[in-house]
Amino acid sequence: PTMAHSKALLVLENFIGGKFVPCSSYIDSYNPSTGDVYCRVPDSGKEEVEAAVKAAKDAFPIWSSKSPLERSQILNKLADLIEHDLEAFAQAESKDQGKTITFARTVDIPRAVHNFRFFASSILHHVTECTEMPAMGCVHYTSRAPVGVAGLISPWNLPLYLLTWKIAPAIACGNTVVAKPSEMTSVTAWMMCKLLEKAGVPPGVVNVVFGTGARAGEALVCHPDVPLISFTGSTQTAQRITERSAPHCKRLSLELGGKNPSIVFDDADLSQCIPTTVRSSFANQGEICLCTSRIFVQRGIYSEFLKRFVAEAKKWKTGNPSDPTMDVGALISKEHLEKVRTYVKKAQAEGARVLCGEGVDPLALPPGNQKGYFMLPTVIAEVKDESCCMQEEIFGPVTCVVAFDTEEEVIRRANSVKYGLAATVWSSNVGRVHRVAHRLQSGLVWTNCWLVRDLNLPFGGMKASGIGREGAKDSYEFFTEVKTITIKH
Ligand code: NAD
């Protein structure tokens, strides 16, 4: 699309039963790098959700009776079509979200394509269980069937990436879906809807209703004909979804926030650790649930680490996201930028040292980006463990660095937050990395690397970071209902 250069507002429509449908009211959507309204997103409510759920219910009998191979071929076709338009999708994602064009080109859209290919393939390889009881003359086996209409709710940080991570397994398993992307980042979902017919996705299999969480999201969560909700977003919203869905006993998958520690022992290879930890702290403006925000460095290397880490962080260039040489784009909204800045101010007020970034270094922006929501990568040292900066998810380009002495101590401190999503351990001692990995309260532990994912394996968090896991087997189990059948012969 040429909307990148168009002055007219882009107006999105809901996608229901294979058709684009206008809505009676709209929400403004901002370009975070300029601060301008550039798009209008349907402000859907009960009525639109009702229509979408009905379309999904109507499509279910035919879609669920297709063979996995037929569905797999359609998913692969959709992946090819998105890949064909990769550049247009990347431009749109960058403009809508504020992320750098480089990140959208290399991470968001390729991963969205991969999500469809991955589940197109994995759906062909599941086997069910069978046991025998010769003494009883019985054989038992399990069969799995799609559940029905799946409600999918996704956040703004990795819009198409996270939405397709839900749509792909849901429809591969034979469910039909009603998806609600974040009202702040709806454009790429709408672009994907334009490709569904060509890919061979029958009308009603994928419906997308745009709008806010309070209206469209809640209508979906409360709809009696939507037996499962897959949600990625904040812990606070998950609590609300859990409450609202409780009267219906819905099946929930909740992928939530994090306060992810990185533990750097004195035998770590700093030449790898430092650039990777800068990336794990600031990639996508720090707006990834897996981003590192607490770095524990063993005392003997603390000063050297800090010096080299700050020098590396300062190399990251912040500015116009459509410039491919930039490393950091704009934050999602004005309100979010203010919230992230408040954390830095609080840390300063508590006596912590801001070593680079916000309030310390000048931020030079091109004329067109003066009103954008930018913030430099910010490193804070000497923060107390009980400070809100070490306890709460900031979800911006801010990371805290503190010293520790012993393995026992750092495990206790790393675990002393309500979250438990992802942790990183840096050490060349193989015994230690296994030991520490086992004791960290975290759904994912990376050792001497970050964000290396095998989609086959479970993804998800412990404690306030979530309930349930996603991945080849886990998503298959979530999106299907299992039955145990016993036959006496
Ligand atoms: P959010 O919880 O505000 O919103 C997420 C989605 O839920 C949006 O589509 C929103 O419209 C919708 N929503 C809001 N209120 C709702 C309600 N009452 N009922 C139904 N839906 C509702 O989160 P966000 O600010 O968009 O995203 C950032 C959060 O997402 C961070 O906490 C981040 O850690 C988390 N996240 C987690 C993962 C993961 O895989 N664990 C991945 C990415 C982001």
Tell me, yes or no, whether 457 lies in a domain. no
**Band of residue 3 on the pLDDT scale cut at 50, 70, 90:** very low
Tell me, yes or no, whether 282 lies in a domain. yes
Q: What is the mean pLDDT of residues 30-55?
A: 98
Residue owning the nearest CA to atom 37 of ligand 1: 256
For residue 159, the enclosing domain spans: 10-256+465-488
Active-site option among 13, 48, 218, 255: 255
Tell me, yes or no, whether 452 lies in a domain. no
- Gyration radius of the chain's alpha carbons: 23
**DSSP assignment letter at 8:** S
| pLDDT value of position 2 | 44
Judge if 427 and 284 occupy the same domain: yes
**Band of residue 294 on the pLDDT scale cut at 50, 70, 90:** very high
CA of 320 to the centre of ligand 1 (A): 26
State the residue for tokens 């459509």: 322
**DSSP assignment letter at 328:** B
| pLDDT value of position 290 | 98
| pLDDT value of position 344 | 98
Q: Is 118 near ligand 1, meaning CB less than 6 Å away?
A: no
Q: Is 212 near ligand 1, meaning CB less than 6 Å away?
A: yes
Whether pLDDT at 6 is above 70: no
Q: Is 51 near ligand 1, meaning CB less than 6 Å away?
A: no
Q: What average pLDDT does the structure give for the chain?
A: 97
Judge if 238 and 362 occupy the same domain: no
CA of 346 to the centre of ligand 1 (A): 24
- Which CATH number belongs to the domain containing residue 121 in this structure? 3.40.605.10
255 catalytic, yes or no?
yes
Tell me, yes or no, whether 420 lies in a domain. yes
Residue-wise pLDDT for 185-214, tens only, equals: 999 999 999 999 999 999 999 999 999 999
Q: What is the mean pLDDT of residues 302-323?
A: 98
| pLDDT value of position 363 | 96
Residue 81: strand pairing partners? none
Torsion over CA of 385, 232, 459 and 390, rounded to 10 degrees? -10
- Which CATH number belongs to the domain containing residue 329 in this structure? 3.40.309.10
Q: Where are the alpha helices (DSSP H) in 226-298?
A: 235-245, 270-282
Tell me, yes or no, whether 28 lies in a domain. yes
Judge if 414 and 371 occupy the same domain: yes
Residues 218 and 277: their CA atoms lie apart, in Å, by 37
Q: What is the mean pLDDT of residues 44-73?
A: 98
Ligand 1, pocket-test mutation among 182, 255, 343, most atoms within 8 A of CB: 182
3-state SS track over 446-480? EECCCCCCCCCCCECCEECCEECCECHHHHHHHCE
With 0-12 / 13-18 / 19 or more C-beta atoms within 10 angstroms meaning exposed / middle / buried, residue 213 is buried
| pLDDT value of position 7 | 67
Residue-wise pLDDT for 243-267, tens only, equals: 999 999 999 999 999 999 999 999 9
Residue-wise pLDDT for 344-385, tens only, equals: 999 999 999 999 999 999 999 999 999 999 999 999 999 999
Judge if 373 and 315 occupy the same domain: yes
Judge if 265 and 251 occupy the same domain: no
CA of 395 to the centre of ligand 1 (A): 12
Judge if 250 and 270 occupy the same domain: no
Residue 374: strand pairing partners? 330
DSSP strands (E only) in 319-443? 353-356, 378-381, 398-404, 419-420, 422-426
Tell me, yes or no, whether 5 lies in a domain. no
Residue owning the nearest CA to atom 16 of ligand 1: 213
Whether pLDDT at 1 is above 90: no
| pLDDT value of position 125 | 97
Closest Cα to residue 466, out of 254, 245, 231? 254
Domain count, the chain: 2
**Band of residue 5 on the pLDDT scale cut at 50, 70, 90:** very low
Residues 450 and 432: their CA atoms lie apart, in Å, by 18
Judge if 45 and 158 occupy the same domain: yes
Contact 174, 71 (CB under 8 A): yes
Q: Is 415 near ligand 1, meaning CB less than 6 Å away?
A: no
Q: How many CB atoms lie within 10 A of CB 29?
A: 22
Residue-wise pLDDT for 412-432, tens only, equals: 999 999 999 999 999 999 999
Judge if 442 and 484 occupy the same domain: no
Nearest atom, ligand 1, residue 182 CA = 9
**By percentage, how much of the chain surpasses pLDDT 70?**
99
Tell me, yes or no, whether 455 lies in a domain. no
Tell me, yes or no, whether 338 lies in a domain. yes
Q: Each residue of 320-345: b (16+ CB within 10 Å) or e?
A: bbbeeebbbbbbbbeebbeebbebbe
Is the overall model pTM greater than 0.85, yes or no?
yes
Classified as helix, coil or strand, 211 is coil
Classified as helix, coil or strand, 109 is helix
Judge if 47 and 174 occupy the same domain: yes
| pLDDT value of position 4 | 47
Residue-wise pLDDT for 470-486, tens only, equals: 999 999 999 999 999 99
Chain length of the chain = 489
Judge if 252 and 266 occupy the same domain: no
| pLDDT value of position 288 | 98
Q: Is 72 near ligand 1, meaning CB less than 6 Å away?
A: no
Judge if 219 and 76 occupy the same domain: yes
Contact partners, residue 124, CB within 8 Å, separation at least 6: 68, 69, 72
Judge if 198 and 328 occupy the same domain: no
Q: Is 461 near ligand 1, meaning CB less than 6 Å away?
A: yes
